[in-house]
Amino acid sequence: MRNRFLVTYDVSDDRRLRQVFKRLRQFGLHVQLSVFECELSPRELALLRASLDEVIHHEEDQVIIADLGPAEGRGSECLSSMGRKYEPMRRKAVVV
């Protein structure tokens, strides 16, 4: 089962910031500055954590991963926005 996660980060070094951004882009949708929305299986979450662990400095940087629940359930409904409308992630079929 896939869960929806909100991932936000505060990285103090520009080089590491770019690396964190590039790695998160592989796992989810960039929704705002330093904020990603990701639909991940438990395995993908472990891969994301391991990937970010290689880049961040644990004494200086911070990554927060909030589990919003099942992607097909409450996970798509627990966020709301003010101002510009929030559009939840949409799954797309990819033909290779």
**Structural domain contains residue 57:** yes
CA-CA distance, 39 to 28, in Å (whole number)?
7
Domain boundaries, position 51: 3-76
Q: Is the dihedral of CA 5, 10, 13, 14 positive or negative?
A: positive
**Structural domain contains residue 55:** yes
**Structural domain contains residue 68:** yes
**Structural domain contains residue 36:** yes
Which secondary structure element, helix H or strand E, spans residue 57, and what is its range? none
**Structural domain contains residue 83:** no
Q: Return the pLDDT at 77.
A: 64
**Structural domain contains residue 81:** no
Q: How far is CA 65 from CA 5, 34, 83, 87, in A?
A: 6, 12, 24, 19
Q: What is the mean pLDDT of the chain?
A: 85
41: Cβ contacts below 8 Å, ≥ 6 apart: 1, 2
What does the pLDDT look like over 64-95, one tens digit per residue?
999 988 877 665 566 666 556 666 656 565 56
Q: What's 8's domain CATH number? A: 3.30.70.240
**Structural domain contains residue 89:** no
